[in-house]
Amino acid sequence: MATAPTPAVWRPTPAHLRAAAVGLPLAVAAIAVRRPDLLVLATPLLVITLWSVLDRPREAPRTSARLVSSTLREGEETSLHVDFGLPAGTRQSIATVHSSPWLHLRPRRGVLALAMADEPAATLDFEVRSTRWGEQHVAVVVAATSSWGGYRWGPVGLPDFGVTTLPLPAVFDAAAPAPHPSGLVGVNRSARLGDGSEFAGIRPFHTGDRLRRIHWPVSLRTRNIHVSETWADQDTQVVLVVDATSDVGVSEGIDGAASSLDTAARAAGAISEHYLHRGDRVGLRIFGTARRTRLSASTGKLHLRRVLDILATMSVQPPHLEDNTRIQFGLDAGALVIMLSPLFSVTALGHAVTLARQGLTVVVVDTLPAGLPEQTRDPYVALAWRIRLLQREADVRRVNGAGIPVVPWFGPGSLDQVLRDIGRRASAPRMARR
């Protein structure tokens, strides 16, 4: 809750001064030149002046504002209530809400004026809808007026509200198993036999086998005790590396076109949600952003919230700040690295190649929006885009040549084929530079 920080007083408005400044001279002139019609013209202004003075509020209103929820998902709405405790004589309470461009307000222009009739309190209600992930701000300015707009209290600014909008994870599903599961528990089938749920075969009983594993039909048929054998279930470590060095394309929020950073944030959220629901560990690294860049791998629903919180603070680093593109990845061997990048920065390409040379499994998800040259009307800008995209194609081919698959993001199944290919490739011998 935010309350009005500074004391303010009721002050006469230009309307009050106008009524007095026109009414009194007209009345004086009416008497001086003996023209009762001028007194008739002055009468409404003089009555309004006198009314305003007599009905003037004597105390300052008490104001506060409440935002129902300060954390939203993209597209979600919350309510903002501005409360007034009003002294007698207040005839109108006004609240103006200023917000970041990605917060849509209802009423649309963010200004609400409520006429009063001696009520001691009033509440002005606004609806706030966030249309894009990130950190936004809401500022509230309040004012009140007396009878005939003669006196005004304020405008007074209330302390700002911060609204964190978490990226709405895109729909994502991957049927392919992770290439190098390494943990103790999880849903990925291990390459070795052990405790698990997936049937591997039936073999004769050995000392140490659990009794509940005995397969009675086969044991009775063969007259020797046999046990069921399963593949061990293992989890894997998935590390999402997000390239925030540039934001390419137009961002129109959840209801419109997505920029490269929008796609990266939503895709990272979707991939995290998918793997965390499967019981895998997910870590996050962001390079090129001015804020927090690293989240250690962990699992669980709370960890998904941590991932989304960090993604929400992501922004393209202003050029005057310290170079934040060089980060220590510190990844465990066997981790599956999924890099989300528009592949425009040399740094991103360099990070992908470096990680792959360390023997890690790297998949690059291309977040570049389609149709960039067509988005501009300037033929020279369109030409420049085409040249830049040709250069990018050459870079992507070089990355592919280094054994790193680059796949476009299209939601469910985006990674299936490439993960299966990597799984098959994992069984083949390969060289790693460490």
Partner 1 sequence: MRVPNFVWPLVDWSTDSGGHHWLLRAATCAATVCLLVASEIVGTGASFLMLVGVTLTLVWAVVSPDSAAALALLALLGWEWYTSVQDSVTPWTLVAAVSMFVVHTSVASAATAPAGARFVDPRPVRRLVAAVVVLALTAGVWAAGGVLVDVEGSQPVLSTVAALLGLAALGWFVRDASLPRPG
> Which residues of this protein are in contact with partner 1, per CB under 8 A?
7, 9-22, 24, 26-31, 33-41, 43-51, 53-54, 56, 58-60, 92, 94, 96, 107-115, 117, 143, 145, 147-150, 152
Rounded distance between C-alpha atoms, residue 33 and residue 164, angstroms: 68
Between 46 and 176, CB nearer to partner 1: 46
Q: Give 121 or 387: the residue with its C-beta nearer to partner 1.
A: 121
In the block, residue with structure tokens 């061997």: 333
CB of 38 to partner 1, least distance (A): 6
Q: Beta strand pairing status for 281-287 and 237-243?
A: parallel
What is the 3-state composition of the chain as percent helix, strand, coil, each rounded to the nearest 5? 30, 35, 35
How far is Cα 98 from Cα 110, in angstroms, rounded to an integer? Answer: 7
Beta carbon of residue 154, minimum distance to partner 1 (angstroms, whole number): 11
Nearer to partner 1 by Cβ, of 19 and 178: the residue is 19
Contact 378, 391 (CB under 8 A): no
Buried b (16+ CB within 10 A) or exposed e, 386-410: eeeeeebeebbeebeeeebbbbebe
Cβ proximity to partner 1, 44 vs 408, nearer residue: 44
Closest approach, Cβ 95 to partner 1, in A, equals: 9
CA angle 207, 208, 210 (to 5 degrees): 115
Q: Which is nearer to partner 1, 26 or 267 (CB)?
A: 26
Question: How far apart are CB 132 and partner 1 at their closest, in Å?
Answer: 23
**Paired residues of 85 in beta bridges:** 62, 121
Query: 80 vs 227, which CB is nearer to partner 1?
Result: 80
From the CB of 127, what's the least distance to partner 1, in Å?
12
What is the SS3 assignment for 311-361? HHCCCECCCCCCCCCCCCCCCCCCCEEEEEECCCCHHHHHHHHHHHHCCCE
State the minimum distance, in angstroms, from the CB of residue 110 to partner 1. 8
Give the integer Cα–Cα distance in Å for 283 and 85.
Answer: 49
CB of 299 to partner 1, least distance (A): 48
343: phi then psi, degrees, rounded to nearest 5: 60, 40
* Residue 50 or 218 having the CB closest to partner 1: 50
Beta-bridged to residue 124, according to DSSP, are 82
CA 415 to chain centre: 23
